């Protein structure tokens, strides 16, 4: 089994990059990447890193990517950024709650920002050998799975993110046949983002548990999984 796991993993050397590294799950992903022993180093990027990476600024994203390129061969990039609530906004329960500022914020952080990350970080992936760009999406972004309604901005922005990932994967395949671009649903995790919505009886996992599962999932995915939407266990989710 150990030999099979090694075959699924990343080539020796290279670096992992965690974006949104100061968040609850971002911090745990940094630890998981370090503990995996598969990388020469783990670069952490956030609004408080040097250089700072603000998901709303293409100039900051470009500068961070240039900095990353100088650190070594990029084998793994995980985007752990996201917006669900804050700045006076909460997920909408009804169309009556729709607010253009809230929707713009959701799309800026959950779709446009990750798209710009792909623009500047996908070119860093090596042309040979396995490499991965993964972004944390959400199952509520699945159109087919939507049976409850509500959460308009979050659902729609994550659905947009899934389409962006799928589209980028098609282009990436042409020049990087062994690279993957995927969306990952981490599950409900005990973080500030999900705290207001953790109901009694709902299975909530620790960030460390989610991060370890995500890392194992990414290690096991093969190149034909590029463009897919998966949960942390590697099961495909509906679009």
* CATH domain 2-231 topology: Rossmann fold (3.40.50)
- How far is residue 222 from each of residues 136, 147, 194, 227, measured CA to CA in Å? 18, 31, 30, 11
**How far is the C-alpha of 212 from the C-alpha of 64, rounded, in Å?**
25
**DSSP letter, residue 11:** P
pLDDT of residue 12 exceeding 70 = yes
Q: What is the mean pLDDT of residues 92-96?
A: 95
pLDDT of residue 201 exceeding 50 = no
- Express as a percent the part of the chain with pLDDT over 90: 84
pLDDT of residue 148 exceeding 80 = yes
**How far is the C-alpha of 52 from the C-alpha of 8, rounded, in Å?**
33
pLDDT of residue 198 exceeding 70 = no
The dihedral built from the CA positions of residue 159, 160, 163 and 169, taken in this order, carries a sign that is negative
Give residue-wise pLDDT tens across range 115-132. 999 999 999 999 999 999
Q: Which value, to the nearest 10 degrees, does the dihedral of the CA atoms of residues 210, 212, 216, 221 take?
A: 40
User: Which pLDDT score, from 0 to 100, does residue 121 have?
Assistant: 98
pLDDT of residue 199 exceeding 60 = no
Model pTM above 0.85: yes
User: Which pLDDT score, from 0 to 100, does residue 94 have?
Assistant: 96
Token readout for 153 is 């901005």
Domain spans in the chain, listed from the N-terminal domain onward: 2-231
**How far is the C-alpha of 81 from the C-alpha of 143, rounded, in Å?**
21
Residue tagged 């949960």 (tokens): 231
Termini Cα distance of the chain: 32
pLDDT of residue 5 exceeding 70 = no
User: Which pLDDT score, from 0 to 100, does residue 202 have?
Assistant: 53
* pLDDT band of 2, cuts 50, 70, 90: very low
| Torsion angles phi and psi, residue 148, rounded to 5 | -110, -20
| Torsion angles phi and psi, residue 200, rounded to 5 | -60, 130
């Amino acid at each position: 089994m150990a030999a099979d796991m090694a075959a699924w993993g990343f080539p020796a050397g290279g670096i992992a990059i965690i974006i949104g590294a100061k968040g609850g799950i971002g911090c745990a992903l940094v630890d998981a990447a370090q503990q995996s022993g598969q990388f020469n180093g783990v670069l952490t990027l956030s609004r408080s890193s040097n250089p700072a990476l603000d998901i709303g600024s293409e100039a900051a994203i470009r500068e961070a990517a240039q900095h990353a390129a100088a650190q070594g061969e990029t084998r793994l990039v995980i985007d752990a950024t996201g917006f669900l609530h804050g700045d006076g906004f909460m997920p909408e329960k009804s169309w009556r709650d729709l607010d253009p500022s809230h929707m713009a914020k959701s799309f800026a952080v959950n779709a446009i920002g990750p798209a710009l990350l792909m623009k500047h970080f996908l070119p860093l992936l090596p042309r040979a050998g396995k490499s991965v760009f993964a972004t944390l999406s959400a199952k509520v972004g699945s159109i087919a799975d939507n049976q409850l309604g509500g959460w308009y901005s979050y659902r729609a922005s994550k659905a947009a993110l899934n389409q962006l990932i799928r589209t980028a994967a098609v282009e990436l395949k042409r020049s990087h046949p062994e690279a993957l671009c995927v969306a990952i649903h981490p599950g409900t995790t005990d973080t500030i983002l999900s705290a207001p919505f953790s109901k009694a009886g709902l299975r909530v996992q620790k960030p460390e548990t989610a991060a370890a599962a995500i890392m194992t999932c990414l290690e096991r995915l093969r190149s034909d999984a590029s463009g897919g939407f998966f949960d942390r266990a590697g099961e495909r989710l509906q679009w």
